Copies of this chain bind each other. A is one copy, B any other.
Amino acid sequence: MSTVSKSKVTATEPLDPKDARWVKLVKLTYTDPTATVRTWESAERLTRPHGSAIDGVGIIAIMQNDPAHPSAPPRILLQKQFRPPIDQVVIEVPAGLIDAGETAEACALRELREETGYRGRVVEGFGMTPVQWNDPGFCNTNVQMIHVTVDMSLPENQNPKPELEESEFIECFTVPMTDLYAESERLEREGYAIDARVGTFAEGIEVAKRWKLV
């Protein structure tokens, strides 16, 4: 059993808003297209920096010049991380919350270095996606995806040393992008949960293959 699989939720209780440090609920009043006044309930993170348009970034990190996979198709860097909200180990891309005043690209390179030890380079001309809203009928959280290449032949990427906080436990692995959908199905059968950034991205690749969109 891997280290990350040893975590477990042991208790669940209601959270009083006055004790909440990371999340909150809001009641929204809005007018619909007929000018009728309606209400909606929403959840929000408390961590988005003032003035920032996003909560954080996800990182599509494509490994290049890897001596371990010399002739393979491009591989994507993934993580296994235990997530208390679903009491499961999740298959995710590297990701993290943005700091005040930080650009999305700088956040991506910092989080990649901290979580995986790898030094990446933002892909020119295709570095940053539109803002993606995680579940906009339920909450206001969002993420911007940053595309990065990691040159595995560089000295700085020979012995990656993550800089994890003492509460963080992350395991890295890579998957050929052509196999990502089949791998996500296999990993789910093994008991892992599939983060939407991995699952929906894999779904897009798979549809491009099946419908010959290229």
Contacts and interface: CB of A to CB of B under 8 A. Distances in A.
A188 B9 contact: no
Interface residues of A, number: 96
Given A20-B41, A90-B133, A177-B208, 14 more contacts: A10-B29, A13-B27, A14-B17, A16-B17, A23-B138, A24-B25, A43-B85, A83-B137, A129-B199, A134-B135, A135-B141, A139-B141, A205-B213, A209-B213
B85 A138 contact: yes
Contacts of A6: 31-33
A131 B207 CA distance: 17
Q: How many copies does the complex hold?
A: 2
A214 B207 contact: no
A45 B40 CA distance: 13
Contact of A43 (B43, B129, B142, B200): B43
A29 B9 contact: yes
A60 B207 contact: yes
Given A27-B12, A204-B201, A85 B137 contact: yes
Contacts of A60: 203, 207
B208 A213 contact: yes
B32 A131 contact: no
Contacts of A210: 126
A119 interface: no
A21 B41 contact: yes
B29 A41 contact: no
Contacts of A197: 196, 200
Contacts of A213: 73-74, 177-178, 205, 208-209, 214
A160 interface: no
A52 interface: no
